[in-house]
Structure 1
């Protein structure tokens, strides 16, 4: 979510975790195996001042090569709420919905109709949701309120399946005002990461705080490495950098930061999104949005116990893509997407 261009670029480390990284567990490493059932990738993004959802299909099973679908025109345009969607995330169904359902969720915000200050004080507390059983037909969006009225906004929603709960954990960034400040005219606290559970993306549990810090944090993305191992990527809004943490004890376990408490991956970036390579075992691709430049750039790593990321080949990666997401897809879905919009 782009707001940080209005803030000074200072390297203030988030105070979320101060522990040192743990060793990778054997089970987590095994789980990072390539998936032969996936033959390509679908990426969904918004484009700068065009707050709609655009689809990009990989060229074959290349995790770094994409082409725009629908002749570069948007696939989904919201008609409710603000009429603009940012930070779209596509979530593959899990549990009983595995291989049968996909969801797209996003921020309800058209910044061209408001200001960044208003968007944080009296912004939408609802998220856009689309769902599909075939990745082609998405129907009309619905707006679902997920946050309480003391919040100023809900930004960059994303979700991950929590195997310990058998439900989807949906998370987003919000900042909060005093309950006595109903007009949200005073000073709020720092941005924090909130969450709620859902089984259908229609009803949600009461929101709670997932991650808080002394400085504002937004744009959380979580990658599952194994049954109980996860990596999460967060933007320090004050420092305008993105850092990574790892847990081998579940989503609510002990999170540690590889490289130390002040380490980060890159500065001047936001909207991190990580996905596994379909073909190369243990290879992770990380997208970072250079909000003051040409949008998403890809990076790779094969060791999530170290703060070591390599600039990836960008020769076939589109420029000017903004905060979005990528999911691996099987042959029938790849063919269907290519036939419909290729």
Structure 2
């Protein structure tokens, strides 16, 4: 609507019946894009109409003084997001975009599909929108790229940035599902480089830190923007493409040079941080009370030599009458890092968070990139105190505060850092003898039996029984077959085995008359009742138990129990068994329970170990590794497309695992059954997994030192990992042996063959 503004407070109050209709949506829903005022003082606007979600039409509307005149400019095509095959587009009304030239609204820039690719065009009208002349700004764009969302900057200098648009690949606006950049078109004449300008001319950096210098060319449209970077002393600092890395204390300069000899310089001073071993930080304003012995942190505290915020925050003091802990704090809406330089070692961090006036919900804290506290909520007037233990190996604590809740801010009131006794890595000895060999357990589909293979170096494995089962499945399992064997060494030095009691070919082998043990229409594929458990002092003589979970816990209506694994929980002083379980015909999930001391029954009922965020996906085959810093890393399988190995971390053995996107395996097809084992004498771990999507069946391997970055080791016999006398193995697990244990095992089976 058009309404004159008289200057009074109520002049722009609008009643709905006063509004003029520009577009009545008789051609489908509409989406306004831009509005401008013509040289005649009358407003003009452009919008998109959608007869259907796949037909986007651009319109030009002009106010005549009495009514709105509408003219079709162009049929632009469909939405521009590049919807993956098989998915429904969540934003079907995301048009390529249309924008008015604010200095001349008779010119519009728009994005439309040309031969299936979005291109940018300039449209000009000489008759108030009745007819249009068009000119291409982009042409022949490669398939797979889009040119969309043109914008004409207001108050631009003529010839500079006549139109700016987005170019690249785009599926969705969140979760980094796009890779785009900004493009521009201009008509100004290019001029030679006259001046270079650096983002800073003086820098103070701490040793071991880096800083990005940015350079600007004057004039902007100079044709040759090539520059070279140089450090005056590369023992103090280096520079590459403007990224300055401070190496040691000292002074040096960074010079950037244009191709015609024009230069700009930044003077840099590098200082050594002062490392703390303990500290108490009180967050507040410059004038709020300071706790005895604490270091004050305000919104102005930036890293100098010891600690500070890496980006801006706010400070608050709620005033008198409040305790020092809750009355003042720092806060922010965006993820922000508080950095503290410390000596390497183990530390206990105590956080205090609260606000007298407001509730703060769903706050998260990360330390050096790892989530240590998540989804924390503190009510107004309360103070939340929490403690976490961390290991520092980089001489700094980067503590990131963020929030995802309804309140726009996170808060931090106080932080205490205290040193702990250094964590000792697990011993690589047993009974005074060094661990020096590896034992792999596995099974095969054709026998459903248990197999052992040994290795002296962790690279080449040899089956101890020349590719034959060491224990036949029909001698130990209720279903006459075992699958998914997992072995561990307990704190008592004994060996413990857990296996799935299931023979998927039981009917063909004559062990039963039906396809499954129980009706498939009630309990689905591969239904079974529980596990086979075994214990040994020497890997040769075994006791065994059939663990019937269905009988022990009928309330679960057990559909299946697969892939049991074992790990010792020092807090409970019990072996924890964790496994894949399905209730009835539902989806498989991960559960855990604790074994009794005799290792022949469950001491606790199964409980949920981890909940996958997508409830429509099945998850299975968990494998938990205790890390040197006390955390737990859980590999597991999500049956996505393809199914693959995923990773979650927790500070607790049986809860708190945090979902992470992406997969850590290197397979194009599906894989399962992850197992992680450490290389003796090295800070390296091997991820082994079962690739059931290849023929012949095989194992895949990857190696890591930090459980973040992985090196692909390939498959058995296709890289560094080798087999000597077996193949088509399934669902393996590896533990360490002493030399004497390995030799005794090999000798036993060699003698049995004679």
Residue 236 in structure 1 maps to residue 638 in structure 2: yes
CA RMSD of aligned residues (A): 2.9
Q: What is the correspondence of 1:26-175 to structure 2 with a 5 Å cutoff? A: 26=391, 35=428, 37-58=434-455, 60=456, 62-78=457-473, 79=475, 80-94=477-491, 97=492, 99=493, 101-113=494-506, 115=515, 118=520, 120=524, 123-139=527-543, 141-147=544-550, 148-149=553-554, 150-175=557-582
Task: Give the structure 1 partner of residue 625 of structure 2.
Answer: 223
Residue 310 in structure 1 maps to residue 708 in structure 2: no
Task: Give the structure 1 partner of residue 678 of structure 2.
Answer: 276
Match of 1:289 among 668, 674, 690: 690
Which digits, 9 at most, give the CA deviation of each residue in 1:251-308, with x for residues without a partner?
A: 1453335xx424443451001111111121x20011110012222122211121x153
Change (3 A) 1:167 1:226: farther
Match of 2:733 among 309, 312, 325: 325
Match of 1:22 among 359, 365, 370: 370
In 1, Cα distance between equivalents of 2:370 and 2:702? 23
Does the 8 Å contact 1:103/1:130 carry over to 2?
yes
Q: Which secondary structure state, in structure 1, belongs to the residue aligned with residue 542 of structure 2?
A: coil
Change (3 A) 1:197 1:315: closer
Task: Give the structure 2 partner of residue 191 of structure 1.
Answer: 588
In 2, Cα distance between equivalents of 1:237 and 1:19? 30
Change (3 A) 1:238 1:255: same
Gaps of 5+ in 1: 1-9, 12-17, 178-187
Tell me the TM-score normalised to structure 1 length. Answer: 0.80
Does the 8 Å contact 2:450/2:485 carry over to 1?
yes
Q: Which secondary structure state, in structure 1, belongs to the residue aligned with residue 505 of structure 2?
A: helix
Structure 1 segments, 4+ long, off by >4 Å, are 18-21, 27-34, 114-117
Task: Give the structure 2 partner of residue 255 of structure 1.
Answer: 657
Deviation at 1:122, TM superposition (A): 7.5
Q: Which secondary structure state, in structure 2, belongs to the residue aligned with residue 51 of structure 1?
A: coil
Q: Larger C-alpha radius of gyration, 1 or 2? A: 2
Task: Give the structure 2 partner of residue 265 of structure 1.
Answer: 665
Which digits, 9 at most, give the CA deviation of each residue in 1:86-120, with x for residues without a partner?
A: 000112112xx2x2x11111001111125589374
Does the 8 Å contact 1:146/1:207 carry over to 2?
no
Task: Give the structure 2 partner of residue 3 of structure 1.
Answer: none
In 1, Cα distance between equivalents of 2:705 and 2:722? 21
In 1, Cα distance between equivalents of 2:678 and 2:371? 20
Aligned length: 305
Deviation at 1:30, TM superposition (A): 6.2
Q: Which has the higher contact order (CA 8 A, sep 6+)?
A: 1
Gaps of 5+ in 2: 1-85, 88-363, 373-389, 394-421, 508-514
Does the 8 Å contact 1:242/1:266 carry over to 2?
no
